[in-house]
């Protein structure tokens, strides 16, 4: 199916690996002109053919500089995919273990980076009648399922998508959210990140953790979600073929969330 994205100008954050990298690859395959933003330019990202911009979006000014660099590269923006985020806090930590600095750090990356990027890109997106897709998490619906600053930041991000859709939908900008469950990314597979920490906390190997995670989290497919599956949903929401999907929050979790 032709998603009618040829020559559309797209900006993708958190693009070096995982979901972001998969989104970049699929947009490039659809013929879009893609600016891929990451703190480090991985070899996998550089071979996609996207324009790579290095930026730290967790610091004030970073998202605005990113948008300016993207527009220098591709002109007016048609698409903004806010994928940057992270939840690799201490797996053993509870609410009382997080001080103000930890909360600020988590919100800077998982919430304010999207606020600032969206604010900077919106004038161009309004002129183009563009689309925004924010990548949140099922943690927004299951707040006890991860570090509380992370899941709370994701809940704020999901709410932001609804508010933006309400305000800017009448101006021609579609805003939607995608909320994945457990995806096979470094968050789970890197021994130094959340998955590795959780395995050590539980006294199991990381392979054992990953093998048992689908059942433990109620995933009906019996396996982790692949980044390309999430990317496919994100890219479809970018397409003019989905022009009447506005303000939605699409859960892609293999059935983990059991409520309607």
111 is catalytic: no
Residues making up the chain, counted from first to last: 260
CA distances from 171 to 55, 133, 143, 165, 175 (A): 29, 16, 33, 10, 11
Task: Return the ∠ at Cα 111 (arms to 226 and 133), rounded to 5°.
Answer: 50
Q: What angle do CA 105, 107, 113 make, to 5 degrees?
A: 100
Q: What is the DSSP letter of 13?
A: S
**Which residues make beta-bridge pairs with 81?**
12, 133
Spell out the alpha helix ranges (H) of the chain: 18-29, 43-46, 62-74, 100-107, 113-128, 148-168, 186-189, 194-202, 206-216, 227-238
DSSP class of 174: E
CA Rg value for the chain? 18
Active site (catalytic) residues? 150
């Amino acid at each position: 199916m032709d998603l009618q994205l040829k020559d559309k100008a797209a900006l993708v954050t958190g693009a070096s690996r995982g979901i972001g990298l998969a989104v970049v690859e699929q947009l490039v395959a659809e013929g879009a002109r893609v600016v891929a933003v990451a703190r480090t330019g991985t070899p996998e990202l550089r071979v996609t053919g996207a324009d790579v911009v290095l930026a730290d979006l967790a610091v004030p000014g970073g998202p605005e500089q990113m948008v300016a660099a993207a527009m220098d590269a591709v002109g007016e923006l048609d698409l903004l995919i806010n994928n940057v985020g992270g939840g690799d806090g201490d797996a053993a930590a509870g609410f009382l273990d997080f001080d103000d600095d930890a909360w600020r750090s988590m919100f800077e990356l998982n919430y304010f980076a999207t606020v600032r990027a969206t604010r900077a890109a919106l004038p161009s997106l309004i002129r183009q009648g563009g689309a925004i897709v924010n990548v949140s998490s099922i943690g927004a619906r299951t707040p006890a399922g991860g570090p509380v600053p992370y899941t709370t930041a994701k809940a704020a991000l999901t709410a932001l998508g609804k508010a933006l859709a309400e305000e800017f939908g009448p101006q021609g900008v579609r805003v939607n959210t995608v909320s994945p469950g457990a995806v096979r990314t470094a968050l789970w597979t890197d021994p130094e990140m959340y998955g590795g920490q959780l395995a050590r906390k539980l006294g199991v190997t990381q392979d054992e953790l990953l093998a048992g995670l689908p059942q433990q989290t109620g995933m009906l497919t019996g396996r982790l979600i692949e980044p390309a599956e999430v990317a496919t949903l994100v890219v479809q929401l970018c397409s003019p073929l989905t022009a009447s999907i506005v303000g939605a929050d699409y859960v892609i979790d293999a059935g983990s969330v059991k409520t309607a």
